[in-house]
Amino acid sequence: MGSVFQLWAGYGSAFAQALVLTWKLTAISFAAGFSLGVVVAVARLFPLRPLRFVLTAYVEIFRNIPSVALLIFIVYALPDLDALIDYEPSVLLTLTLVCSAFTADYLRAGINTVDGGQVEAGLSLGMRPMAIISVVVLPQALRAVVQPMTSLLIALMLSTSLASQVPFPGRELTALVAKIANDSAAGMSAFAVAAAMYVASGLLIAWAGATLEKKVRILR
Amino acid sequence: MNRSLDNLLFGDPTPNAQAITRATNWAVAALLLALAIGIAFRFHAAGQFDAGLWEFFAWTTTWTFLAKGLLGTLASAAMAAVIALVFGLVLLVGRMSRLRLARWPSVVAIELLRGVPTLLLIYVCFLVLPSVGIKLSTYWMLTLPVGLSTAAMVAEVYRAGVLAVPRGQTAAARSLGLTEAQVFFHVVFPQALRYIVPALVAQLVIVVKDTTFGYVVTYGELMQNAKVLIANYNALVPVYLVVAVLYCLVNHAISRASQRLGRSMH
């Protein structure tokens, strides 16, 4: 325990910065990934076969490819195609693409929970398909997927550890632990502090998700 | 027959709407084709399609090396899956035990292993454990953290399955004189397995994805072997694309198997 306090005295501000950076990466990539995922899920409803084919391929690819392989491709292989992206945007792009694929997949399941009768009712009222999607289908689908989206947000928060694989400006939690373990013998204490921060962040997200779910749950 | 939502939304179009859909289909297809040609041109302009590349992929050593990497990935993933299934069961038994001394350590272990990135656990095995005198081979430095991390997820999947078994089953088994362990292993757990097999198979995809971190500890899995190939032959983009395709194929096959299993069990 004493070594943890000693570590905190030496690296306290570094841990605080690392936690903030972890949260920042999580928040930005979730916001972008979620928005993109909603667009993909809605676009998959359109009766355009080539578009559906491409979007299905998009979801399957980014759901199945390991995030670290994607990050390494973006950071180290894309410059060979004259597409140079900085390290931070590369990490954010990787997390966004993965998050959007999972969001689109979960939303598809959420959309399927909406009863077809509601669409027929909307059509009989003279509503256009896009109005039905945005006013009737999507709000219900979003309320149905709060729980899986919470799990996805936690998984995304843990995936920010990928940033330790590239020379990132500033260190998130995993990179900081690797640095401390390399520089000193305080690796185990550093792990304990980082683990506590990750677990606390995860529990906070789970609590927020559960509260939101209780509020928006649709009782059928 | 129930119609899908998209069919309800956009189905039964008028002849005019059908013509518009056909035209849009062609326009989207043309756009996508142009995009594909554009990407291919970019590859060509960046010198990725030069003669050396075809030579590189014509070599047996290239494919042998990638196949060895894939085998390394599967060997690590298989062992990690075994660790996850067995240790997950241990965590489940502890988590559901009435003894606080067994329950609390299990709850803490599950929360810790679920709440910490696998990569951080790999760093602990790779950087921290040697400093306290524990030295693992590169295989175990990768497989152990991946297995333990998945075990916590598996324990929760098991738990969901066990809670789904009707309570009457336990009461009936107890009234027949079975011990608590007998009730769990002969009555509850076999039934719970039926509910959770698809979710367990889905966990396999996560295990395969997590083994990608093998290159961190220089264990010879697909990503590490790809890095060695790239370092030796300087064919970055094509090798990573082949690796991506291989990962997608393996994980897609597991996902499909999981879906099929789920459907057959219903």
DSSP helix, strand, coil percent of chain A (3-state; round to 5): 85, 0, 15
Residue among B258, B169, B137 at smallest CA distance from B207: B258
Taking CB atoms and an 8 Å cutoff, what residues of chain B touch A111? Answer: 5
Separation of alpha carbons A37 and A141, rounded Å? 13
Q: Is A204 helix (H, G, I), strand (E, B) or coil?
A: helix
Spatial separation of the C-alpha atoms in residues A196 and A8, rounded to whole Å: 13
Could you list the residue range(s) of the whole structural domain that residue A128 is in?
Answer: 1-216
Is B168 within 8 Å of chain A by CB?
no
Q: Would you call B5 and A195 a contact, using CB atoms and an 8 Å cutoff? A: no
**Candidates B11, B25, B247; nearest CB to A69:** B247
pTM for the model: 0.87
Would you state the pLDDT for residue A163? Answer: 93
Q: What is the pLDDT of residues A155-194, one digit of tens each?
A: 999 999 999 999 887 789 999 999 998 888 778 889 999 9
Q: Which residue has the higher pLDDT, B71 or A7?
A: B71
Secondary structure of residue A32 in the 3-state scheme? helix
Query: What are the Cα distances from residue A108, in Å, to A111, B50, B202?
Result: 5, 42, 18
User: Of A91-100, B36-45, B201-210, where does mean pLDDT reach its minimum?
Assistant: B36-45
What residues of chain A lie within 8 A of the CB of B115, using their CB? 154, 158, 195, 198-199, 202-203
Contact (CB, 8 A) for A97 and A70: yes
Which of B95, B90, B92, B93 shows the shortest CA–CA distance to B105?
Answer: B95
The residue in chain B having the minimum alpha-carbon distance to the alpha carbon of residue A115 is B5
Which of A133-137, A199-203, B47-51, B81-85 has the weakest average pLDDT?
B47-51
Alpha-carbon distance of A188 to A178, in angstroms, equals 11
CATH label of the domain that carries residue A68: 1.10.3720.10
* Topology of the domain comprising B51-264: MetI-like fold (1.10.3720)
Instruction: Give the mean model confidence (pLDDT) for residues B199-207.
Output: 87
- Indicate yes or no: CB of B25 within 8 angstroms of CB of A48: yes
User: For chain A, first and last CA: distance in Å?
Assistant: 50
**Is B50 near chain A, with CB under 8 Å?**
no
ipTM: 0.88
With CB atoms and an 8 Å threshold, state whether A119 touches B5.
yes
Which tokens sit at A78?
């894309």
Please state the domain extents for chain B.
Answer: 3-46, 51-264
CB A79 within 8 A of CB A150: no
Measured in degrees and rounded to the nearest 5, phi and psi for residue B252 equal -65, -40
> What is the enclosing helix (H) or strand (E) of A152?
helix A146-159
What is the distance between the alpha carbons of residues A159 and A26, in angstroms, rounded to a whole number? 8
Pull the structure tokens for residue B108.
């803490």
pLDDT digits (tens, 9 = 90+) for B237-252: 888 888 988 998 998 8
Helix (H, G, I), strand (E, B) or coil at B219: coil
Q: Are the CB atoms for B9 and A119 separated by under 8 Å?
A: yes
Structurally, how many domains does chain A consist of? 1
Whether residue B1 is predicted with pLDDT greater than 60 in this model: the reply is no
Q: Taking Cα atoms as reference points, which of B78, B82, B214 lies closest to residue B141?
A: B214
Q: Which tokens sit at B64?
A: 């042998």
**Distance separating alpha carbons of residues A66 and B146, to the nearest angstrom:** 14
Contact B9 A45 (CB under 8 A): yes
